[in-house]
Chains A and B, each alone.
Chain A
Amino acid sequence: MLLPRTYMLALRATVSNSPISNVLEALRSAPSQTLQNLARVRYAHHQSEGRANGVKDGPGKRLGAKKTAGQYVIPGHIIFRQRGTKWFPGENCDMGRDHTIFAARAGYVQFYRDPLKHPKRQYIGVTFDRDDKLPYPPNAPRRRRLGMVATDSPSGPPAESIAASAAAEADMSGGNALVAAAAAQAHNSRGRDLMATGTVAREVPRRLGRKGGRSVSYLDRGEDGMPLAPNARTRGMYREANWEIGRAAEREGIKVKKWVPGDRWSAWRQRAKRRERAQQMSAMRSGGKKKGKGKKGRGKK
């Protein structure tokens, strides 16, 4: 790549320095000059200015082991900070975004190698027992901890009471049993299941049948605002779909006035309203107390 450039230089030099006025002659003599130029050596000069030669030794990143072998750790404790994977996460450990090794279970730290897993890697592990030796034998059952407690009361009231109350409600509201069934079902899916016999699931179908001549879909809501039929996407859970949430305003009949860019009158009115609201809010926040400092001067905005 260097060749064309040196060629050009040589050409310019011959034209300016030699007495030959004919350009063609100069061109003819150029190749020999080029070869001469190629034989010359261009030394790298030293760029003394600029940030390339700045301080290379930045602040230390405090890398390295944060826990020693045998130390007790709980989940989330950082055991090793590193650049790249000097150490790999082993038993009950995990690796963060920047390759930091941290504990996934409470236990005692161990630094070890596992040639069966990988011949060259070094691992950090956490054992539940202080005396355990890592790696564990490959065919032994894994050592695990449950890490859970059994609570007696599952969330939500008992299913029977919901069904009974829903039925009572239905009687009062003129025998709308469908709504009651749906409400009970909705409660069940959130809390406990109604299925004492295991056959109820078949009795409450996905599509709840017809109500007053039209079929009930998951768009229809009961008195408590919950949908009557389960939403297919959420697998029977009574949650509104995102598109339904997006259409909430439409459903409520809320109309937003169209914004006209040049309409200064409505812009002024809106701004006035906003200020008023902001004042109210700040008054509420201060709880009626009067704070003199900087309060008065903030009126303009």
Chain B
Amino acid sequence: MAALKTSSSRWLASSPVRRPIVLRTLTTTSSHRVDAEAGTPSAAAESQSVPPSGAKAPLDPRVLDPNIVTLPSMERKLRRAGIALPGSRRRRAVLKSAPHVPLEKMPYQCFQEARKVLLADREEKLEQIEAQRGKILRLLEQDPSVSGGELAKKTRLHSMRRYLEKLKVQADVNDPAVKKRFEDGEGDMNKPVYRFLADRKWHEYPRKIVMQRITQMNVVPDVLPHIDPIYEVNVAFGRRRIPPGDIVDSRISASPATLSIQPFDAGERLATIAVVDPDVPNVETDNFGSRCHYLATNVPLSPATGKVSLGRLSAETQVVLPWMPPFSQKGLQYQRLAVVVFEQRDGAPTDLERMRLSSPRDGLTMRQLMARFLLKPVGINMFRTVWDEGTEGVMRKAEIEGWDIEFQRKKIEPLPKKRRNLAKYR
């Protein structure tokens, strides 16, 4: 209050015209206003003071901070000096007025009180985690006959471990810092809480979209009899991410796709990746066949793997069938391309030679593959391709036959006219 008085008195001394306001400054509400008003000119002078004697003089970075400059004239000066301005003017104005206070030290009483509650809860959860770990250790040492048989012990251990994972998530899930880090995309996927948050976010919308596309476009049941995806799979060509089911230009899909595969459970595991087209026309049988455009096995995946570039997997140890550009011949409808990620049984590596021998490109179906190599589908996505301007070039370059074929509708012969039984009408 003393500081306030001095500032207001100084101000009054400098401007005797506004004397009537003095009476009102005594109330608390208007005193804030006066303080703010008194504060701004000095702050503005600090941040926006310009070196005298024109713009020719070298700019002092301490004086003109590009992060907080908002005046157009000052911006111009910085630009002329070759300094890039980050973000918009509005953003810079916000940054200027918002000091960088760490989340834990936010000066809001309610927030701090809530943090105390959360911290207490976290302590409690940590104790529970310790207790649960102890219980698990004790059960591990216990004789199976005491705990009701081998199977019962195994089941119990499993459920206890699941509860432990749940506790680990619960300890951190309400932490504002964790939430912020997750929303900024800086979450460490090796930690249970970030995996939990990512899984929840995926279930909220992107997974629903994928499920809608694969059911509406009949990838299930044409490619797979059933799938309950537990990995998030996204398809990209180069840096362009493809929405599920999108029609991709044949020139873009000529080079191998990049998948981002996100498992939401801990640990390393081996996976098999396949890209399959179930709409291959077969004129002889008047039916559709299947073609595998890409097949790779023993691909190591973990929650922190991130992107898997299909063109960069090892040709000797992983790739069974290298990338074949997706194409749709002229006159045909769109071709669906299903991208399926399979989990290998018990994480055991597949016999690559056996897979190479038993997996021809033409006619390979995912049902066969799953049955032969005990694979379980865990992630799926799809895109489509149609005959476009680039398809012929792509097919010729990849030396695929059939670029000069056009499909036309088969004429269906009308049934012979029924002859009337004239005798009936006599």
Q: Is the CB of B389 within 8 A of A142?
A: no
Q: Is the CB of B406 within 8 A of A154?
A: yes
Alpha-carbon gap, A146 to B409, bound state (A): 9
Q: Does A140 contact B (CB under 8 A)?
A: yes
**A residues 261-277 with Cβ under 8 Å of B?**
none
Stretch at the interface among B139-147, B168-176, B309-317, B393-401: B393-401
Q: Does A181 contact B (CB under 8 A)?
A: no
Q: Does B405 contact A (CB under 8 A)?
A: yes
Contact string against A for B residues 49-88, beta-carbon threshold 8 Å, 1 for contact and 0 otherwise: 0000000000000000000000000000000000000000
Chain A residues closer than 8 Å to B394, beta-carbon distance: 198
Chain A residues closer than 8 Å to B282, beta-carbon distance: 146
Alpha-carbon gap, A198 to B399, bound state (A): 12
Alpha-carbon gap, A146 to B287, bound state (A): 5
Chain A residues closer than 8 Å to B352, beta-carbon distance: none
Q: Is the CB of A74 within 8 A of B389?
A: no
Alpha-carbon gap, A152 to B408, bound state (A): 10
Q: Is the CB of B286 within 8 A of A139?
A: no
Q: Does A145 contact B (CB under 8 A)?
A: yes
Stretch at the interface among A26-34, A113-121, A189-197, A281-289: A189-197
Nearest CB on A from B248, distance (A): 15
Alpha-carbon gap, A236 to B390, bound state (A): 13
Q: Quick one: which of B286, B396, B413 contacts A147, CB cutoff 8 A?
A: B286
Stretch at the interface among B6-14, B179-187, B219-227, B377-385: B219-227
Alpha-carbon gap, A150 to B380, bound state (A): 32
Alpha-carbon gap, A213 to B394, bound state (A): 36
Chain A residues closer than 8 Å to B360, beta-carbon distance: none
Alpha-carbon gap, A106 to B408, bound state (A): 17
Q: Is the CB of A195 within 8 A of B286?
A: no
Interface residue total, chain A, C-beta cutoff 8 A: 32
User: Which residue in chain B gives the minimum CB-CB distance to A148?
Assistant: B407
Q: Is the CB of B407 within 8 A of A149?
A: yes
Q: Is the CB of A150 within 8 A of B406?
A: yes
Report the contact-size class of chain B (Cβ under 8 Å from the partner): 35 or more
Q: Does B20 contact A (CB under 8 A)?
A: no
Known contacts A146-B288, A147-B410, A198-B397; A141 and B332 CB within 8 A of each other: no
Q: Quick one: which of B226, B251, B405, B414 contacts A74, CB cutoff 8 A?
A: B414
Chain A residues closer than 8 Å to B390, beta-carbon distance: 193, 195, 198, 201
User: Which residue in chain B gives the minimum CB-CB distance to A197?
Assistant: B393
User: Which residue in chain B gives the minimum CB-CB distance to A200?
Assistant: B393
Q: Does B113 contact A (CB under 8 A)?
A: no
Chain A residues closer than 8 Å to B404, beta-carbon distance: 152-154
Chain A residues closer than 8 Å to B288, beta-carbon distance: 144, 146
Q: Is the CB of A193 within 8 A of B393?
A: yes
Q: Is the CB of A149 within 8 A of B225?
A: no
Q: Is the CB of B332 within 8 A of A148?
A: yes
Nearest CB on A from B254, distance (A): 7
Q: Is the CB of A198 within 8 A of B393?
A: yes
Which residue among A140, A146, A154 has the maximum number of chain B CB atoms within 10 Å of its CB? A146
Q: Does A242 contact B (CB under 8 A)?
A: no
Q: Does B331 contact A (CB under 8 A)?
A: yes
**B residues 221-242 with Cβ under 8 Å of A?**
221-222, 225-226
Alpha-carbon gap, A192 to B407, bound state (A): 14
User: Which residue in chain B gives the minimum CB-CB distance to A159?
Assistant: B392
Alpha-carbon gap, A239 to B43, bound state (A): 63
Q: Does A138 contact B (CB under 8 A)?
A: yes
Contact string against B for A residues 190-221, beta-carbon threshold 8 Å, 1 for contact and 0 otherwise: 00110111111100000000000000000000
Chain B residues closer than 8 Å to A196, beta-carbon distance: 393, 396
Alpha-carbon gap, A111 to B259, bound state (A): 45
Chain A residues closer than 8 Å to B287, beta-carbon distance: 144-146
Alpha-carbon gap, A149 to B410, bound state (A): 6
Q: Quick one: which of B283, B389, B413, B415 contacts A149, CB cutoff 8 A?
A: B283
Chain B residues closer than 8 Å to A201, beta-carbon distance: 251, 389-390, 393
Q: Is the CB of A138 within 8 A of B221?
A: yes
Alpha-carbon gap, A151 to B221, bound state (A): 31
Q: Does B26 contact A (CB under 8 A)?
A: no
Q: Is the CB of B221 within 8 A of A150?
A: no
User: Which residue in chain B gives the minimum CB-CB distance to A155?
Assistant: B406
Alpha-carbon gap, A61 to B413, bound state (A): 29
Chain A residues closer than 8 Å to B221, beta-carbon distance: 138-142
Q: Does B281 contact A (CB under 8 A)?
A: yes
Nearest CB on A from B215, distance (A): 11
Alpha-carbon gap, A72 to B413, bound state (A): 13
Chain A residues closer than 8 Å to B283, beta-carbon distance: 146, 148-150
Known contacts A139-B221, A139-B225; A145 and B393 CB within 8 A of each other: no
Q: Does B218 contact A (CB under 8 A)?
A: yes
Q: Does B412 contact A (CB under 8 A)?
A: yes
Which residue among A148, A192, A195, A199 has the maximum number of chain B CB atoms within 10 Å of its CB? A148
Alpha-carbon gap, A151 to B405, bound state (A): 6
Q: Does B115 contact A (CB under 8 A)?
A: no
Top 5 nearest A-B pairs (CB, nearest first) are A195-B393, A198-B393, A139-B225, A148-B407, A154-B406
- 15 additional contacts (CB under 8 A) given A147-B409, A149-B407, A149-B408: A74-B413, A139-B220, A139-B221, A139-B225, A145-B287, A146-B281, A146-B282, A146-B283, A148-B332, A148-B409, A150-B283, A151-B407, A152-B404, A193-B393, A198-B397
**CB<8 Å pairs between A and B, sample of 27:** A72-B415, A74-B414, A138-B221, A139-B226, A141-B222, A142-B221, A146-B287, A146-B288, A147-B409, A147-B410, A148-B281, A148-B283, A148-B409, A150-B407, A151-B405, A151-B408, A154-B330, A154-B405, A155-B406, A192-B392, A193-B393, A195-B389, A197-B393, A197-B397, A198-B251, A198-B397, A200-B393
Residues of A within 8 A of B (CB): 72, 74-75, 106, 138-142, 144-155, 189, 192-193, 195-201, 236
